[in-house]
Amino acid sequence: MATHLDLEEQEQLDQLKAFWKQYGNALTWLVTLALAGFAAWNGWNWWQRDQAVKAAAMFDELERAAIAGEVSKAGGIFNDMKERFPRTAYAQQGGLVAAKVQFEKGQPDAAVATLGWVAGNATEAEYQTVARLRLAGVLADQKKYDEALKQLDGASGKEFEALVADRRGDVLLAQGKTEEAKAAYKKAWDTMDPKVEYRRLIDAKLTSLGAAPPAEAPKTAGATK
């Protein structure tokens, strides 16, 4: 019995050696690649967290500068953020904050550049759309109407559809294109949730242009039995 087992074990060992000789290198490479991939994934997650923490600290500093009205400091911090952490949400939020204080402090060209960066580099449609909405407003103030409309054409955030249409109406009206402005305001009014208070302002714009939307039927408290 012992001799039989020894022979069987030897046969299995020989088969294992033959298998390893044929496939050993390939298996070693596969295991190495798998371990390297796991290490890289952990390293990437750590790097992402590290980037987010550092970007958050810079955003807090930028926000404090903006609240204090320190426009140069806010712009400088944002420039640093977009160089070091361009893919983070904090850089995109920081751009919106920096642009706001730049515009308020009489630096519209700086605000245009900042908003343009957010519109072109934000990874989420929401940030892109907010940036384009604000950028269109600044450009319209500068009477650059065609550029403003071009920014609105690229504003794709679905939840901002009504606000984009409303801003388009403002730009078209400033151009003297009354009928097109009415159509844009009508789209904004139709699209916006009736519960949103801003809808009343759109109603007022349409009314002032002689295109008041139809009065909505009052809501009943309940059916009468």
200 in the same domain as 122: no
Q: Can you read off the two tokens belonging to residue 203?
A: 């109603």
Q: Note whether residue 13 is domain-resident.
A: no
- Please state, in angstroms and rounded to a whole number, the distance separating the CA atoms of residues 154 and 4: 79
172-201 average pLDDT score: 94
Count of domains in the chain? 2
What phi and psi values does residue 213 have, to the nearest 5 degrees? -70, 155
Least confident of 1-5, 54-58, 154-158, 201-205: 1-5
180 in the same domain as 144: no
Q: Note whether residue 29 is domain-resident.
A: no
Q: How far is CA 125 from the centre of its chain?
A: 4
Q: Note whether residue 193 is domain-resident.
A: yes
Judge whether residue 4 has pLDDT over 90: no
Higher pLDDT, 216 or 164: 164
Indicate the DSSP class of residue 214. Answer: P
Instruction: Say what the pLDDT of residue 49 is.
Output: 73
- Print the domain residue range for 178: 158-212
Q: Note whether residue 77 is domain-resident.
A: yes
90 in the same domain as 57: yes
Q: Note whether residue 28 is domain-resident.
A: no
pLDDT band at 27 (very low <50, low <70, confident <90, very high): low
144 in the same domain as 64: yes
150 in the same domain as 61: yes
90 in the same domain as 175: no
- Please state, in angstroms and rounded to a whole number, the distance separating the CA atoms of residues 79 and 43: 27
167 in the same domain as 145: no
Over residues 12-21, the pLDDT tens digits come to: 666 656 655 6
Judge whether residue 119 has pLDDT over 70: yes
Higher pLDDT, 140 or 157: 140
pLDDT band at 214 (very low <50, low <70, confident <90, very high): confident
Judge whether residue 222 has pLDDT over 60: no
175 in the same domain as 145: no
Over residues 97-114, the pLDDT tens digits come to: 999 999 999 999 999 999
Q: Note whether residue 18 is domain-resident.
A: no
